Structure 1
Amino acid sequence: MKTDSTTSAGASDVRFVSVEKSFETATALHSLDLEIERGTLFALLGPSGCGKTTTLRLIAGFEQPTRGQVYIRGKDVTGIPAYKRSFGMVFQNFALFPHLSVTENVAFGLQMRGIGKDVIRQKVAAVLDLVALGKFADRYPRQLSGGQQQRVALARAVVFEPDVLLLDEPLSALDKMLREQMQVEIRQLQHRLGMTTVFVTHDQEEALTMSDRVAVMNHGRIQQAGTPKDIYDRPRTEFVATFLGASNILEGHVRGREGVRAVVDVAGNLVQVSGTPVSKGKLRFALRPEKIVLDPQSGIRAVVKDVIYRGAQTFLYLDMGGIALNAVLQNTAATPADIETGTSVGLSWETASAVALEDPT
């Protein structure tokens, strides 16, 4: 079993070129262009019906595009059925065979490929050690915990060293604590194998935790793709800003510029907004709640409408000149001990935290 990447950096393992997928009553994907580099852990993130599962099924060959081409490892696989493609897949419910042992479940795909018994024995033993299930080799799925069943499903998917590993909401059946544990384990396993992995999720935290790159999808289109940090810190659209974490969406009138930043009047408060060429007119921008800090010296004022204590954080619900604004404060020794409703507070944030949004039109 390979435990590190032997592929060249920057090479493309999966590529969509102007892919469209239509069904009888709707179009699931609109002229989708997508490129996934070799060895990347890539998340397709979005709400139900956004096209992410259809994209995964097109990679697998379970669906064929209405238009466009799909390439895997540089080969045009458009029209090639699933059984002729090299991919491993983990489903939401793990889809283990209940009447087969752990060893037999993992060996099943190798047996279907006509691999010799000695080779199967070696490969299965190696991959079970990789997922820390060697001592459970003779158990049956019903004798395993949810996390152990997940590891069996992963082992079965990677044991034959496929070109691409596909994960369809692989953690949705697990409870919160186990799900968080498996997020880290899958990421560590994928990095050890260096295997190109594409996973579908509607869970923003899961996408941020696990992936090297994320594509945020909506209505059959990619709204934005990039690293989790880039997309979180620099969302291009209101949908991305609000779907990938909480965000204040504010609107004001541009009053001028200071270098590369616009000076915007928001309810009588002048704030600087980065990432826009706009010099006049209305401007919408995103501001993450946790980027806001209390600053008694600031001229930006707001009235506290509600305070909610949540252990490590305090959530403030504010009114800034008639505009609702949310802030999240980390509860440290430097945090004000008592923030009462009805009081006026000064607010500040780094200019780079106020990010201009594209005009939806």
Structure 2
Amino acid sequence: MSADLALIGLSKTYAASPIPAVDDLSLEVRAGTCTAVLGPSGSGKSTLLRLVAGLETPERGSVLIDGRDVAAVAAERRGVGMVFQRPLLFPHLSVLDNVAFSDRVAGMPRARARERAAHYLETVRLGGYGRRRVEELSGGQEQRVAIARALAAEPSVLLLDEPFSALDPSLRTDMHDLLAAVRGAFSPTILLVTHDRDEAARVADRIALVENGRLLHEGTVAEAYRRPRSLRAAELMGGRNAVSGHVRGGLHVSALGEVPVPGTADGAATLVFRQEDVRVDAPSPGETSLRTTGTVETLRPLGARGEIGIRASGVLVHAEVPSTSGLRPGEDVAVSVPHALVHVVPG
């Protein structure tokens, strides 16, 4: 049911804007894996999905599914399924017949199509809901039906365009679990568009960061968080610490001190590290760390945790601490960041 997906040099510009919505973008998604496309509003994420689905035509570039260029193939012949932010179910059909729709269009007898539809409803944990009308469903249930309908068409590539963004947090967690179950059962190739970093980290194998129609970074979830390819990529992943400096002889030198960065070319470079990785007052024994001292300057509650800003050697360092830490502005603290958790980006 899965296939390799390769996008090569895709470009798309709409008549209403001279700026490309997608600009020479290339991306590979291996069969059976999930890549989350993450970026701010207007970055070209949804246009990218529409180009893969065949709902838009690229000016340049190729869409390859298992090595076959489908850029000129009609949307209904690509073997691609798509689930949108809104479920877009047929209100005049029952839940069962919504899921059976693609099989009926393909000419399958009604009884067989409904039998298959019931199987997919079981997969999305809606067994027994087949006779219901669409208006009798909750928002989360509607989205499950939309996923079942897409799966029933047996697509080689499944496209998800922010399908969970309208749901409340608890329902979104349920849908993430459902997506994991679907992956376990069918191993589809998935391209998921989201603006939520946590969602991308939870459901995807890899993350592609997109802005202004261009690919900024592509890699594993861990790489996106801790080994971004640029300062902007680090910012899109929620990184709060960026310290300007320069590399000389394998060391990054900044106001915070020196950090070994073997294999990095000499020149201007920015040290980035996650706020979650900053340790306040308690470096681990024997751990090689960047260490300094500073004064708590800001405090921002984040529920069970809080974020503090520490002014150290003229640099504002952001750190996450438990809400019970008791730290207050004006307090002097020691700060450390393990060398293994710092990263250098150009510029």
Choose from 248, 251, 255 the match for 1:262: 251
**Distance of aligned partners of 1:138 and 1:273 in 2 relative to their CA distance in 1, 3 Å threshold:** farther
Partner of 1:289: 275
1:14 and 2:5 equivalent?
Answer: yes
Structural RMSD (CA): 2.0
After TM superposition, list the pairs within 5 Å mapping 1:139-178 onto structure 2: 139-178=132-171
Q: Whole-Å Cα distance in 1 between the matches of residues 216 and 262 of structure 2? A: 17
Q: Which residue of 2 aligns with 1:203?
A: 196
Check 1:104–1:295 CA distance in 2 against 1; reply closer, same or farther (3 A cut): same
What TM-score, normalized by structure 2, do the two folds share? 0.91
Distance 1:72 1:51 in 2: 21
Q: Does 1:110 align with 2:93?
A: no
Equivalent residue number for residue 264 of structure 2: 277
Paired amino acid for 2:315: I
> What number of residue pairs does the alignment pair up?
339
Check conservation: 2:291, 2:337, Cα contact below 8 A.
no
Deviation (angstroms), 1:350: 0.9
- Cα 1:22–1:134 shift into 2, 3 Å: same
**CA distance in 2: counterparts of 1:209 and 1:245, whole angstroms:** 15
CA contact (8 A) 2:245 2:252 kept: no
Does 2:205 correspond to 1:219? Answer: no
Change (3 A) 1:130 1:308: same
Tell me the distance in 1 between the aligned counterparts of 2:252 and 2:73. 54
Equivalent AA in structure 2 for residue 343 of structure 1: E
Taking only the aligned residue pairs, the percentage that are identical comes to 37
Residues 241 and 18 of structure 1, relative CA distance in 2, 3 Å threshold: same
Conserved in 2, the CA contact under 8 Å of 1:131 and 1:155?
yes
Could you tell me which runs of 5 or more consecutive residues in structure 1 were left unpaired when the two chains were aligned: none
After superposition, the C-alpha distances for 1:71-117 in whole angstroms (9 at most, x for unaligned) are: 11221112112122212111111001122111011111111111122
Question: How much does 1:239 deviate?
Answer: 1.2
Q: Secondary structure at the match of 1:63?
A: coil
DSSP 3-state at the match of 1:272: strand
Q: Which of 184, 192, 202 is residue 185 of structure 2 equivalent to?
A: 192
Q: Is the 8 A contact 2:226 2:342 kept in 1?
A: no
2:64 to 60, 71, 75: 71
Cα deviation code 1:11-65 (max 9, x no counterpart): x621122222223333122222211110111111111221211111111111111
1:62 and 1:93 mapped to 2: Cα distance? 16
| SS state at 1:30 partner | strand
Partner SS state of residue 307, structure 2: strand
Output the CA distance in 2 between the equivalents of 1:79 and 1:141: 35
Contact 2:226 2:273 in 1 (8 A): no
Correspondence for 1:119 among 83, 87, 112: 112
The answer (yes or no) to whether the contact 1:42–1:198 under 8 Å persists in 2 is yes
Distance 1:275 1:313 in 2: 34
CA offsets 1:338-360 (integer angstroms, 9 cap, x no match) = 3232121111111022210123x
Residue in 1 that maps onto 2:172:
179
The answer for the alignment partner of 1:342 in structure 2 is: 330
For the residues of structure 2 that align with 1:142 and 1:199, how far apart are their CA atoms?
A: 27
When residues 315 and 79 of structure 1 are mapped into structure 2, their CA distance, relative to the original with a 3 A threshold, is same
Give distance in 2, aligned partners of 1:265 and 1:276. 18
Distance in 1 between residues matched to 2:302 and 2:27, nearest whole Å: 40
CA contact (8 A) 2:97 2:114 kept: no
SS of 2:4's equivalent?
A: strand
